[in-house]
Amino acid sequence: MESYQHGDQAAAHALVDLLSGRLCAFFSSPMGSRAQADDMLQEAWLRLHQARHTYRPGEPVLPWMYAIARRVRVDHYRKRRRIELREVAPEGLDNVAGQASPASEGPTFVELIAPLPESQREVLTLLKVHGLSIEEVARATATTAGAVKQKVHRAYDRLRALLAGAETAAGGPS
């Protein structure tokens, strides 16, 4: 990252190779298309490049990167929502079920945590899918480590309740 700041092209390319997979996974969602994820990836790299001077040597890179990527995603959703409000959606365009995983594979992690509120879903995904530490998630989401822990515990409580409900429904009379 420091070599990138010094204008080293090889370091910049290595960083793009190293981090784009993580960014792509971050932007992929069951409700979004591949093209949207690619657009967000490109936009994220543009912003990361413009903000590369704000990375302080010695600080962790991932929270810096995810904080900017998170903002790209928020802006993208807001823009998409504005467009959707103005347009009449053709039938089936937002058919999430059509893009969901095949029944044989079972629900994906993203589908499993879909009933959670956005803030809980976000920290759980960063923690469990992207492998960030609690401190890194706190930095990326501009909050405290204590707040992250609280959100995760609330998410766990909700997931336990959902699991218990699903088991009751499965075991109950049909």
Indicate which single residue of 18, 20, 33, 115 sits in contact with other proteins (rule: CB under 8 A).
20
Give residue 71's identity as a one-letter amino acid code.
R
Residue 18 binding other proteins, by CB under 8 A: no
Residues 73, 116, 122, 140: which binds other proteins (CB under 8 A)? Answer: 140
Q: Which window, 89-97, 114-122, 133-141, contacts other proteins (CB under 8 A)?
A: 133-141
Task: Copy the structure tokens of residue 30.
Answer: 């069951």
Instruction: Please state the closest distance from residue 159 (CB atom) to other proteins, in A.
Output: 6
Q: Least distance (Å) from other proteins to the CB of residue 51?
A: 4
Return the structure tokens found at 147. Answer: 């707040």
Kindly indicate which of the ranges 42-50, 89-97, 114-122 contains the residues binding other proteins, using the contact rule CB under 8 A: 42-50
Q: Does 40 bind other proteins (CB under 8 A)?
A: no
User: In the range 61-90, which residues lie near other proteins by CB under 8 A?
Assistant: 62-68, 70-71, 75, 78-79
Binding mask 148-167 for other proteins (x = CB under 8 A): -x--xx--x--xx--xx--x
Neighbours of 126 (CB within 10 A): 24
Smallest separation (angstroms) from other proteins to the CB of 91: 26
Q: Measured in whole angstroms, how far is the alpha carbon of residue 103 from the centre of its chain?
A: 24
Binding span for other proteins by CB under 8 A among 83-91, 92-100, 114-122, 127-135? 127-135
